[in-house]
Amino acid sequence: MAVAKEPKRQRGIARVARLLDAGASVFAEQGYKAATMTEIAARAGAPIGSLYQFFPNKDVLADALVARYAEHVEAALDRIKAQVVDLDGSQLADRLLDVLIAHAAERSLALSLLDARWEQPGVRPGVLRESLRRRIAEILRLWHGKLLEEEAQAMSVVLFQAMKSLVQLHEEKRYPGKAEAIAHWRGWVRRYLTEI
């Protein structure tokens, strides 16, 4: 199985970032199946050989984009974890709800890439979900020291679903009561955490 090559120098890191950004744009515009490595290289302003040097095929590039999304969300959750002892229930609710909203475009792309390739060996969409739930459960246990591990795990499922649903509501284009619905949704999650 081919894997992405890690750049070692600053110039290579910058080139890989441009290639990933170009891949994200092309996949978002054309879809996974229609996108070509030639178009991605052209969008990045890079020779096709440079793209293949770091990403031997389209699957490896897609995997790298999903991994980049996971890294961004995990880093955001880690920042919450570092501050969680100073947060009340309402603040924690808002911080958690804002994580996926802040990365909504990346999330949409990652989900579409996983969905387009879910039948391929090695593509396991549930791995990312489980990793994020685990991180949320860790945050909850740090925040409320008396939570049992099983309680924190169950709550992490509820909170992760709430986070995903709020992203979908934010992306709703034609719903006239969207702002009020978002306020109600946030209020419900705040009460959920403050009533523990």
Condensed to tens digits (0 to 9), the pLDDT of residues 63-114 reads 999 999 999 999 999 999 999 999 999 999 999 999 999 999 999 999 999 8
Q: How far apart are CA 37 and CA 50, in angstroms?
A: 11
> Which CATH number characterizes residue 182's domain?
1.10.357.10
Predicted TM-score (pTM) of this structure: 0.88
- Same-domain check for residues 26 and 117: no
16 with 94, same domain: the answer is no
Same domain, 20 and 92: no
Provide the number of structural domains found in the chain: 2
| Domain span holding position 97 | 58-194
| Res. 10: pLDDT tops 90 | no
Q: Are residues 46 and 82 in the same domain?
A: no
Judge if 89 and 100 occupy the same domain: yes
Answer yes or no: do 104 and 26 share one domain. no
Please tell me whether residue 85 adopts helix, strand or coil conformation: helix
Q: What is the largest CA-CA distance in the chain?
A: 57
Structure tokens at 40: 């991605």
